[in-house]
């Protein structure tokens, strides 16, 4: 595959490496957990103002700048990033390319974040990478990298060693100062921008958009989801400032969609898209919800740009790959009796999209929502959307250090709605309450954070295993 930049060839293993200090997966996880982790400890604007990419650049340089050894598709936004990454990755894989993906946060375990061709990194490979990255981080000139910086470096190094053709990389919290922003991408995708992490990224949508637009690069096309007028204006100004062509779905990119239902696919959406770089007709959007149709449009637009830049893409095969896209922790049904769905919607816009998607795609008589979120979120905004979809709400803690108190959630909700709610001491108790409240045609939905989703999946899996053992 042709490239516009020179690629350095490196061996798959490093020679002359110092003796391993991290030999096991558990040791690697313990080491990472000993570092500063802003996913667990709230990042204030004062701390954020002191952050720059210098440390990440020095860490990457100490590793030989592995992020320069392959093409990159870079994705930012408030919601829909993970879905867009998944769709782009599946399309590229279907075209015979070796594809690395780097995403966050994880649901069940940290290795989910780093994958090649849909297979998450092994425990042994993860331990080796964390060891090597920790050695590079120990050099005096590097500094003390954070949890996310170390993981990002490990992902970039893994992709180089395994010889991927392209990596699809999701930003973490923002964009401009995100550890992933040391890459030189071939295309940038920008999903919907909404309020989240306002204490760090800014109080207005325009301020948040400016931070997200920090990943724009000269000459690199940006494919953007439809945005508010103010955000669109901000993004166009940022793109013009750095010399990045920008294409908005619904403007430079012609877009239409229709909702339909068939015996084979059930309720689903088909989209048509015409961009400056490609044309797609009646494509089945593989994930539920109107918002996912827009994410699908961004993914298709990115594929068209990559093809125009010399990436070997067969559009027919790409669409076949798109149909195989699945997302863990996104409208995922984890139990049939009772029907239990989990979704990691963790901001107001995502909760709104979830309620709409369930209403459009999932038949039910009554819905009980088990809700828990982090305390630094827009809690009133999330609860306003929850009240529109739920017939009953049960509030719980997420089990994470930043968890909002369940009683505080209930107090806020009581000021917004007269709907029924309860407070539960833990998720197991909440599920028992919900189970007693639902019938065969009802739905239990667990949402508000990925931490809560992970706990739910472990708990249901444990119950299923115990039942299977009892009836064996």
Residue 7 banded pLDDT, cuts 50, 70, 90: very low
Percent helix, percent strand, percent coil in the chain, to nearest 5: 45, 20, 40
- DSSP secondary structure letters along 47-90: HHTT--SHHHHHHHHHTT-GGGSSEEEEEE-SBSHHHHHHHHHH
Mean pLDDT of 110-139: 97
Domain ranges of the chain: 25-322, 332-471
Contact between 75 and 188 (Cβ < 8 Å): yes
Q: Is the pLDDT of residue 75 over 90?
A: yes
pLDDT value at residue 20: 57
- Distance between CA atoms of 165 and 159, rounded to whole angstroms? 9
* Mean pLDDT computed over 152-174: 96
CATH topology of domain 25-322: 3.40.1190
- Range scoring the smallest mean pLDDT among 100-104, 118-122, 308-312, 402-406: 402-406
Neighbour-count burial of 466, counting CB atoms closer than 10 A to its CB (0-12 exposed, 13-18 middle, 19+ buried): exposed
CA 22/CA 1 separation, integer angstroms: 36
DSSP 252: T
Per-residue pLDDT band for 6 (boundaries 50, 70, 90) equals: very low
Q: What is the mean pLDDT of residues 124-146?
A: 94
Looking at residue 412, its pLDDT comes to 96
CB atoms within 10 A of CB 303: 29
Query: 8 pLDDT exceeds 70?
Result: no
Q: What homologous superfamily is domain 332-471 in, according to CATH?
A: Mur ligase, C-terminal domain (3.90.190.20)
pLDDT of residue 334: 96
pLDDT at 22 over 80: yes
At residue 195, the pLDDT reads 84
Say what percent of the chain tops pLDDT 70. Answer: 93
pLDDT tens-digit readout, 353-400:
999 999 988 999 999 999 999 988 889 999 999 998 899 999 999 988
Task: Scan for tokens 């991290």, then name that residue.
Answer: 22
Q: What is the per-residue pLDDT for 92?
A: 98
pLDDT at 38: 83
In degrees rounded to 5, what are phi and psi of residue 219? 80, 0
The residue-averaged pLDDT of 16-36 equals: 82
The whole-number pLDDT of residue 1 equals 47
pLDDT at 71 over 80: yes
Residue 89 in tokens: 């990755």
Mean pLDDT of the chain: 91
Residue 43, Ramachandran bin (φ over 0: left; ψ between -120 and 50: alpha; else beta): beta
Q: What is the pLDDT of residues 279-332, one digit of tens each?
A: 999 999 999 888 899 999 999 999 999 999 999 999 999 999 999 999 989 999
pLDDT at residue 19, rounded to an integer: 44
> Which whole number is the average pLDDT over 4-10?
38
367 versus 140: which is more confidently predicted? 367
**Could you tell me which residue, 402 or 352, shows the higher pLDDT?**
352
pLDDT category at 52 given cuts 50, 70, 90 is: confident
Mean pLDDT, residues 36-50: 72
The tokens describing 26, both together, are: 């558990």
Q: Tell me, what's the pLDDT at 199?
A: 67
89-93, 259-263, 454-458: which range is least confident on average? 259-263
The reported pLDDT for the residue numbered 18 is 41
196: its two tokens = 């989240």
Residues 6+ apart with CB under 8 A from 44: 199, 200
């Amino acid at each position: 595959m042709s490239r516009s930049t020179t690629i350095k060839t490196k061996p798959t293993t490093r020679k002359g490496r110092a003796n391993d200090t991290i030999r096991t997966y558990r040791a690697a996880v313990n080491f990472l957990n000993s570092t500063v982790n802003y996913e667990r400890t709230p990042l204030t604007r004062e701390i954020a103002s002191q952050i720059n990419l210098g440390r990440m650049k020095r860490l990457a340089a100490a590793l030989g700048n592995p992020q320069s050894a392959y093409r990159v598709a870079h994705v930012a936004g408030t919601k829909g990033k993970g879905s867009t990454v998944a769709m782009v990755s599946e399309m590229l894989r279907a075209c015979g390319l070796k594809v690395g993906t780097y995403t966050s946060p994880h649901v069940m375990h940290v290795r989910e974040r780093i994958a090649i061709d849909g297979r998450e990194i092994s425990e042994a490979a993860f331990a080796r990478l964390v060891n090597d990255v920790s050695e590079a981080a120990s050099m005096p000139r590097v500094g003390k990298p954070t949890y996310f910086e170390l993981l990002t470096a490990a992902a970039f190094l893994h992709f180089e060693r395994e010889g991927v053709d392209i990596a699809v990389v999701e930003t973490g919290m923002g964009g401009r100062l995100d550890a992933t922003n040391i890459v030189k991408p071939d295309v940038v995708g920008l999903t919907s921008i909404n309020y989240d992490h306002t204490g760090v990224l800014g109080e207005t949508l325009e301020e948040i958009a400016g931070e997200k637009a920090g990943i724009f690069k000269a000459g690199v096309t940006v494919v953007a989801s439809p945005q508010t007028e103010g955000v669109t204006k901000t993004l166009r100004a940022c793109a013009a400032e750095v010399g990045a062509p920008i294409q908005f779905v619904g403007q430079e990119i012609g877009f239409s969609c229709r909702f339909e239902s068939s015996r084979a696919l059930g309720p689903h959406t088909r989209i048509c898209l015409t961009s400056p770089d490609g044309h797609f007709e009646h494509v089945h959007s593989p994930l539920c919800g109107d918002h996912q149709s827009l994410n699908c449009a961004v993914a298709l637009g990115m594929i068209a740009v990559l093809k125009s830049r010399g990436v070997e893409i067969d559009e027919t095969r790409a669409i076949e790959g798109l149909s195989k896209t699945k997302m863990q922790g996104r409208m995922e049904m984890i139990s049939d009796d009772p029907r239990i769905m989990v979704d990691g919607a963790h901001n107001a816009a995502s909760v709104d999209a979830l309620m709409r998607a369930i209403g459009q795609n999932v038949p039910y008589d009554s819905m009980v929502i088990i809700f828990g979120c982090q305390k630094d979120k827009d809690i009133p905004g999330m609860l306003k959307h929850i009240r529109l979809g739920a017939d009953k709400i049960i509030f719980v803690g997420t089990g994470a250090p930043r968890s909002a108190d369940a009683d505080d959630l209930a107090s806020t909700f009581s000021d917004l709605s007269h709907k029924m709610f309860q407070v539960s001491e833990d998720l197991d108790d909440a599920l028992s309450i919900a189970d007693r409240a639902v019938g065969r045609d009802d739905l239990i939905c667990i949402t508000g954070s990925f931490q809560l989703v992970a706990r739910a999946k472990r708990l249901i899996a444990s119950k299923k295993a115990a039942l299977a053992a009892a009836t064996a």
